[in-house]
Amino acid sequence: MKKSIKIIIAVIISILLVIGIFLLIMKLTESTNKINKEYEKDKMLLQANYGDFNTYVVEYNETRNQLATLLESSCYYEDFPLISTELEAFFKNYDELINKIMISVTNMDKACSREFMESELNNMCDAYPLPYEKMINIYVSSDISAYNELITNYNIWTNKEEYPTFTSKYINEIIDHNQDGIKATLEEA
């Protein structure tokens, strides 16, 4: 009798041990699958936004070229009223482009909070912060500043506050996105 109770207890312990090992393996598999899904999600997020970012860089450069042409067209105060509406619309569109760039970078920042196994993904994570910082800082310190200076000088010239200066809906100060202690601007570009 004692022997059969020992055998029953041994069988129950063996069954519980097998069930415990099975549950542990299932939990580990579930955790691994979750980690792999998160990895793939971050990988796709980075790749999609990096592609968008590169498109926005080209658009940004084209926009800055257009800005130079527009500001050159308005260098005579007498001509400013003829181009003022176009400049105002231009800066609203430019601001929207900056917002797209910022959204793209926010997504890449999220994805790049991990280390990837693929070196090309890690290279993507290393490649975008400095150009992003330069674009934002040039936008704020050079482009908006030049436009606002033009408006201020025109208003002084006419002795009226006819045109308001531009304030971005998204960013109005230079940044140090890569946290290197240097706020990259046009001088470093």
Tell me the HSE value of 28 on the side-chain side, using a 13 A CA sphere. Answer: 6
pLDDT for residue 189: 45
Is the pLDDT at 181 greater than 60? The verdict is yes
Tell me what the pLDDT averaged over the chain comes to.
88
Which of 78-82, 116-120, 167-171 comes out lowest in average pLDDT? 78-82
Which of 32-41, 116-125, 140-149 comes out lowest in average pLDDT? 32-41
Contact predicate 138/97, CB 8 Å: no
pLDDT for residue 123: 95
Is the pLDDT at 143 greater than 90? The verdict is yes
Q: What is the largest CA-CA distance in the chain?
A: 112
Is the pLDDT at 95 greater than 60? The verdict is yes
Is the pLDDT at 65 greater than 60? The verdict is yes
Give the mean pLDDT of 106-134.
Answer: 94
Residue 75: strand, helix, or coil:
coil
Higher-confidence position of 132 and 35: 132
Confidence band of 147 (pLDDT split at 50, 70, 90): very high
Residue 168: strand, helix, or coil:
coil
Confidence band of 187 (pLDDT split at 50, 70, 90): low
Backbone angles phi, psi at 63, to 5 degrees: -65, -45
Token pair listed for 26: 């299932």
Sequence ranges of the domains in the chain: 40-188
Residue 174: strand, helix, or coil:
coil
Q: What percent of the chain has pLDDT over 90?
A: 59
pLDDT for residue 79: 82
Give the mean pLDDT of 117-145.
Answer: 94
Is the pLDDT at 11 greater than 90? The verdict is no
Question: Any idea which residue has 């936004």 for tokens?
Answer: 49
